[in-house]
Structure 1
Amino acid sequence: MSCLFPGIKPTKKVDVLQDISFTIAPGEALGIVGHNGAGKSTLLKIITGTLAPSTGIVRLEGRIFAILELGMGFNHELTARENVMHVSGLMGISQAEILQVLPELEAFAEIGSYFDQPMRQYSSGMHMRVAFALATAIRPDILIVDEALSVGDAYFQHKSFERIRKFRAQGTTLLFVSHDKAAILALCDRAILLNQGKLLMDGQPSAVMDYYNALVAEKESATLVQHVNEKGQAVTRSGTGEAEMLMLQLLHEQKSVEIVEVGLTVILRATVRCHQPIPCLIMGYMIKDRLGQPIFGINTHLTEQSMTDLRAGETLTFDFAFPANLGPGSYSVSTSLSSTENHLTDNYEWRDLAMVFTVVNTTQAHFAGCAWIEPKITITKNLREPS
């Protein structure tokens, strides 16, 4: 058969996803993470039926709603109300159902009179409000959210996350794609990591996100290793190796401790060796709670204490003194050695779960939360009755 366009070769077939296989239990929340181009959006489109897989099958049970992009099939010349009536039918929602929940949907979106204005006048945040309100107007069995919440304002993000948590408590299965580590840790029971179209990791959200962050920092000459410690926690280490942390201790009155009283002053001591000449060395640490959420982080660049012109074989001791003004619970420490204020350039060494310690409260008044902020309360009694 002759070619219609001589000299032009057919486009090469590219398999975006390769041998992806996983199961999600009813009511489970699964985070999906990976670099741009890893295949996350393609995977969700196959799950929702927007795309057909070239091989393999997808089994789903129950009603599925998805927010894969802000448009959601909206016609920008129509109002939000008109679009909701049209798109809800495409989603399999009957007219009777959507009319019943329409007042609540409009109230949840909180865009006021714009609800009856053409959507071409909307900002991206307003599009997201309508799209999310529609996708969650009726509790689905499976809810899929692909980064859409990232364009919303902080208030609506909190409101949306609260609705997702409510649905989860009622048994909705969640598939959540995001680069936001805090959101993955807060919402998900489990996470999978996609890399170049392959399923690289499937496990606890904190372990998966630590590995993902290490991939972001990894260079061609870097190593990336993850192992399980004696407490069953996944410890991630990456870096090029020019500098190495030999020891990390938490000290009180020069004694190593694993249990710390609320408010007690402690020293985080790191012993670091340079294996190669290093023009500039910055050390930092991050304290995280038991879910992996960041509590506090600092580095020697921010404190204007960068070390320069270090020779191979030199050893340094970094002492970070701070009051343990933390709520009772378990905490971990991540450390970084780099040449800049972040570990994305010249990542000599990055360690997640480099240390774990516990904070207890036997000396302060009982309080709630993750931070001890010593209260100073003044009460004044009015002697005269208000007129």
Structure 2
Amino acid sequence: MSCLFPRVKPLKQINVLEGISFAISPGEALGIVGHNGAGKSTLLKIITGTLAPSTGFVRLEGRVFAILELGMGFNHEMTARENVMHVSGLMGIDQEEILRVMPSIEAFAEIGSYFDQPMRQYSSGMHMRVAFALATAIRPDILIVDEALSVGDAYFQHKSFERIREFRAQGTTLLFVSHDKAAILALCDRAVLLNQGKLLMDGLPSAVMDYYNALVAEKESATLVQHVNEQGQAVTRSGTGEAEMKSLVLLHEQQSVEIVEVGSAVVLRATVHCHQPIPCLIMGYMIKDRLGQPIFGINTHLTNQSQVNLLAGETLTFDFAFPVNLGPGSYSVSTSLSSTENHLTDNYEWRDLALVFTVVNTTKAHFAGCAWIEPKITIKKPMRDPS
């Protein structure tokens, strides 16, 4: 008796990562960003040793703790306490040391009596609490965090980021994967951008995130351009070009200014030219602080002022009047021209660092922070007994 089997084509080797090379200094925080499927998680698994590279090598010095896939290594039939004992052994922590820090792990996770219940009863956020508490119970030389923190509630995210900052101040090196621009900007000294398994960019977090956001909007990078301005900042511009912003100025008392007082009234004036007929045009802007974190953003769709049926050759002037209720410091303005409320569809033009201005305080009471929110203070004191 003979059996015939169809011929099977040999499997094709797919390189998830190709030509990736970078170094991280002790105590440095590196953000790793990129589209889904860019190779971020694969890179972290190779760095931590859970995957072996087909070529090349990774050199690490010091104790490495990692939070990769949520609950990786946990047995869901075991309690958190039992899992901590089990997984800590895989992490190279001896039993005496983990018993010493067990109370702090339980306290940091803040899941109460669930700490001694099977983990199959846990929500994803509870898994995250236990995983993070274990990974950071003992300060590592290198801490690697994947997207897992995104599942935590806002309170625990703040608590986790504060612990990461404490470790950084003590010299821990951080590798942090996230799509959260604010988190990358707040935690990282540097960032790398992966695209289709290759290292596309390595630089300041603000420049890398701007380029990444432009890639998200553009899909095709043919019309994406980045250059360095006179201040040495990376300016990113993308778009299809049907509409173009010809000028952008900040006006105070009808004069163009680069330095404004806290609380002063200004007008952000944009002049936009249509190169092609445009069914719908929406103009938006975002004010960012010196780290690139968003302070305030709005667009004409949200204010019910979308412009429709524009002709080729038309020029529009947009005036955005507002008080500069910002703290002293340097700020930038990013702009977008599109057909929808975001710049992901019909991205005619998107510019980062389209304008930079400085806010100073010489007329208000001294205050801290990034916003001027003047309070009216009322104080009531109890009547004292004259006797």
Deviation at 1:9, TM superposition (A): 1.3
**Is residue 145–residue 176 contact of structure 2 (8 Å, CA) maintained in 1?**
yes
Counterparts of 1:35-74 in structure 2, within 5 Å, are: 35-74=35-74
- Name the residue aligned to 2:162: 162
**Is residue 222–residue 239 contact of structure 1 (8 Å, CA) maintained in 2?**
no
Unaligned runs of 5+ in 1: none
For residues 72-128 of structure 1, give each alpha carbon's deviation from its aligned partner in whole angstroms, at most 9, with x where no partner exists. Answer: 200000000000001100000000110010001100000000000000000000000
- Name the residue aligned to 2:138: 138
Whether 2:305 is the aligned partner of 1:297: answer no
Deviation at 1:222, TM superposition (A): 5.7
- Name the residue aligned to 1:118: 118
Q: CA–CA distance in 2 between the matches of 1:376 and 1:221?
A: 51
**Is residue 221–residue 240 contact of structure 1 (8 Å, CA) maintained in 2?**
no
Counterpart AA for 1:38: A
Whether 2:148 is the aligned partner of 1:148: answer yes
Deviation at 1:374, TM superposition (A): 1.2
**Is residue 201–residue 208 contact of structure 1 (8 Å, CA) maintained in 2?**
yes
- SS of 2:156's equivalent in the other structure is helix
Q: CA–CA distance in 1 between the matches of 2:220 and 2:148?
A: 32
- Name the residue aligned to 1:206: 206
Deviation at 1:4, TM superposition (A): 9.0
CA RMSD of aligned residues (A): 1.2
Q: CA–CA distance in 1 between the matches of 2:267 and 2:55?
A: 56
Deviation at 1:12, TM superposition (A): 1.0
Counterparts of 1:302-381 in structure 2, within 5 Å, are: 302-381=302-381
- Name the residue aligned to 2:194: 194
Deviation at 1:219, TM superposition (A): 4.3
Deviation at 1:382, TM superposition (A): 2.2
- SS of 2:168's equivalent in the other structure is helix
**Is residue 68–residue 146 contact of structure 2 (8 Å, CA) maintained in 1?**
yes
Counterparts in 2 of 1:5 and 1:202: CA distance versus 1, 3 Å:
farther
Whether 2:90 is the aligned partner of 1:104: answer no
Deviation at 1:332, TM superposition (A): 0.2
Counterpart AA for 2:301: H
- SS of 1:62's equivalent in the other structure is coil
Unaligned runs of 5+ in 2: none
Counterpart AA for 2:63: R
- SS of 2:238's equivalent in the other structure is strand
**Is residue 219–residue 240 contact of structure 1 (8 Å, CA) maintained in 2?**
no
- Name the residue aligned to 2:282: 282
- Name the residue aligned to 2:184: 184
- Name the residue aligned to 2:13: 13
For residues 164-222 of structure 1, give each alpha carbon's deviation from its aligned partner in whole angstroms, at most 9, with x where no partner exists. Answer: 00000001000000000000000000000000000000000000000000000004486
- Name the residue aligned to 2:218: 218
When the two structures are aligned, how many residues end up with a matched partner?
383
Q: CA–CA distance in 1 between the matches of 2:349 and 2:297?
A: 16
**Is residue 335–residue 351 contact of structure 1 (8 Å, CA) maintained in 2?**
yes
The TM-score normalised by the length of structure 1 is 0.97
Q: CA–CA distance in 1 between the matches of 2:4 and 2:115?
A: 50
- The percent of aligned pairs where both chains have the same amino acid is 89
- SS of 1:51's equivalent in the other structure is coil
Q: Which has the higher mean CA deviation after the structures are superposed, 192-201 or 70-79?
A: 70-79
**Is residue 280–residue 309 contact of structure 1 (8 Å, CA) maintained in 2?**
yes
Q: CA–CA distance in 1 between the matches of 2:259 and 2:201?
A: 32
